[in-house]
Amino acid sequence: MTDYPDTLSFIYGAVEEANKNGVALEESTALVADIGLSSLEVMELIEKIEDHFDISIPLNILPDVNTIGDLAEKVQELNP
């Protein structure tokens, strides 16, 4: 179990690596619409998160994940 702030912090760091346009990152920042991640970059991000928390994130939950906050909440659910 990881605290939500720690989960969020890790995701901020992982997203920052692909944040080519230097978008200010907040929980409400959209991964694709705001940051412009490609589908390949989204998959790389998911993989980093999976390995860090040693969890598996099913592809079928991704349609519900738009923002950094959405992703952090899903990770919390999968890492109780």
Partner 1 sequence: MLFDKFQEMAGFQANLADREVKPFGAVTEQILSATTGIVEGKEVILAGTNNYLGLSYDERCIAAAETALRRWGTGTTGSRLANGSFAEHEALEREIADFYGLNHAIVFSTGFSATMGMCATLAGPGDTILLDADSHASIYAGVNLSGANILRFKHNNPDDLAKRLRRLGDDTKRTLIIAEGIYSMYGDIAPLQEIAAVKREYGGYLFLDEAHSMGCLGASGRGAAQAAGVEDDIDFYAGTFSKSLGSIGGFCVSRHAELEAIRFCIRAYIFTASSSPSVIASTREALRIIRAEPERQDKLWSNAHRLYDGLKALGLPVGPAASPVIAVEMADHSATIDCWKALFDGGVYVNLVVPPASPSTNYLLRNSVSAAHTTEQIDTIIRAYAALVDAGLAKTEQAA
* Least distance to partner 1, CB of residue 27, Å: 25
* CA distance linking residue 75 with residue 21, whole number of Å: 25
Q: Please identify, using beta-carbon distances, which residue of 21 and 56 lies nearer to partner 1.
A: 56
Write the binding mask 40 to 59 for partner 1: x where contact by CB under 8 A, - elsewhere: x--x----------xxxxxx
Residues 6+ apart with CB under 8 A from 23: 29, 34, 35
Write the binding mask 2 to 41 for partner 1: x where contact by CB under 8 A, - elsewhere: ------------------------------------x-x-
* CA distance linking residue 2 with residue 25, whole number of Å: 21
Nearest-10 Cα torsion for 74, 75, 77, 80: 180
Query: Which residues contribute to the site for partner 1 (CB under 8 A)?
Result: 38, 40, 43, 54-60
